[in-house]
Amino acid sequence: MKRLWLAGFLCGTLFFSGCWSKREINELAIVSSAAFDRTDEGWEVTVEIFLPSSSQGAGGGGITAARQAWLAKGSGPTVFTAIRNLTLKVPRRLYWAHCSAIIIGEEVARSGLNQVLDFWDRDPEARRSALLFVYQGEAAQLLTKSFGAMERTVGMQLAGLAKTSKISGYAEVSTLHQFLVALSLPGADPSTAGLVLRPLVEVPGLVATGKKDLKTGTTVTELNLDKQALFRRTKLVGWLDKREARGLLWVRGTIKDLITIQVPGNGEQKIDLEVFNSSRKLSVKQKDGIPQITVQIELGLGLASQESSKELIKQSPSLERKAQIVVEKELKAAWSKACKLEVDPFGFGHLIYTKNPKLWHKLQPSWPGGVAIHWQVRAQVESSGLSLGGPRELEER
């Protein structure tokens, strides 16, 4: 009896095997990035789709300024209808799971991201790990005008920039998940990196004058991370420049960059101090009814380069004081801009909320006012690399 039951079971699996919901890859249009803009009709969505033939490669090698992707635009009164109208142009089903970058035009960002965020968070294929960028102009231009010799698609290039930008500390890219989490926290406002297109100075073999492409004669531009976009809830309200962005990111503990200072006693010569490690600690207490937030930042530094031939490592205390002053100025500049724009990308308000919810509800209407911030920066030079001093010139005999 058991053998008959087992035989019947095995025979039954022959009829029910396989993936009932499978999709063949040659039936999908795999989206690498998507740009969102506003138009008179409502919305315009531009998608960048991987070319199926691009994986085979082009014979002969060499570099081309053309992206290995196909672009399609859809428009409609809502984000969802604009995406649905793409089916009138794209002969395959759009597949969002590999979309690595969402590019928002500045007009959309200033009017609010509600529709974009709702679509992305609601669609079962779209992933919260997608990176969010704000372009200072019409977002579709970033897909149509940016030079792309190294990466196959804009989405792949932006994914790479999100990683390398952590080295400089001039901008920090938020994922859609991080943006949505910041929206849900009382006393915190989201932010993300901005993008611009700049003329490419020179590309050997492609640009004759440094301004025009040899084949098309058009100006060659490349995309750059630039500034940090600040939001009040879902609306863009302003930007932090590079110096101010570093002030924000010191508090977040995400900078692994350089601090450039002047050589003690010689204002013309410069020293680069590399940040090996950084940590930060936030604390809050109340004094005379006013919340006092203390921000403690500790930096481990190393001499990266110097113009002087002296053994400056022996002057570590002086170097450390100069580095602390630089960081304190960046911190204060970032907080000053945030207060001016009436936003809190640092999350200081959320810190107060977690410690004292009643106090937060009292401060909330006038936030980020009514608080005292105390900045404490401690820097320590720990290494000079493989050399104690700079190159020494031979003295004349």
pLDDT greater than 50 at residue 178: yes
Confidence at residue 354, expressed as pLDDT on a 0 to 100 scale: 94
pLDDT digits (tens, 9 = 90+) for 358-373: 999 999 999 998 899 9
State the chain's mean pLDDT as an integer: 83
Of the ranges 130-134, 218-222, 389-393, which one carries the lowest mean pLDDT score?
A: 389-393
- Percent with pLDDT over 90 in the chain: 52
pLDDT digits (tens, 9 = 90+) for 101-120: 999 999 999 999 999 999 99
Nearest to 300 by CA among 382, 363, 357: 382
pLDDT greater than 90 at residue 1: no
Confidence at residue 388, expressed as pLDDT on a 0 to 100 scale: 63
Confidence at residue 128, expressed as pLDDT on a 0 to 100 scale: 95
pLDDT band at 214 (very low <50, low <70, confident <90, very high): low
Nearest to 73 by CA among 54, 91, 87, 92: 87
Confidence at residue 305, expressed as pLDDT on a 0 to 100 scale: 78
Contact 245, 171 (CB under 8 A): yes
Mean pLDDT of 33-43: 93
Confidence at residue 395, expressed as pLDDT on a 0 to 100 scale: 44
pLDDT greater than 80 at residue 234: yes
- pTM value is 0.84
pLDDT digits (tens, 9 = 90+) for 337-350: 999 999 999 999 99
pLDDT band at 215 (very low <50, low <70, confident <90, very high): low
pLDDT greater than 50 at residue 10: yes
Beta strands in 154-265 (DSSP E): 174-175, 191-199, 221-232, 235-240, 258-263
pLDDT greater than 60 at residue 334: yes
Indicate the helix (H) or strand (E) that contains 80.
helix 79-84
Nearest to 131 by CA among 163, 175, 194: 175
Radius of gyration of the chain (CA): 27
Mean pLDDT of 140-147: 86
| Cα–Cα distance measured from residue 173 to residue 171, given in angstroms and rounded to the nearest whole number | 7
pLDDT greater than 50 at residue 209: no
List domains and CATH numbers for the chain.
Answer: 26-53+65-240 (no CATH), 253-387 (3.30.300.210)
- Percent with pLDDT over 70 in the chain: 81
Confidence at residue 188, expressed as pLDDT on a 0 to 100 scale: 95
pLDDT digits (tens, 9 = 90+) for 40-75: 889 999 999 998 764 444 433 333 445 788 899 999
Indicate the helix (H) or strand (E) that contains 297.
strand 290-306
| Cα–Cα distance measured from residue 22 to residue 24, given in angstroms and rounded to the nearest whole number | 7
Nearest to 302 by CA among 375, 371, 381, 213: 381
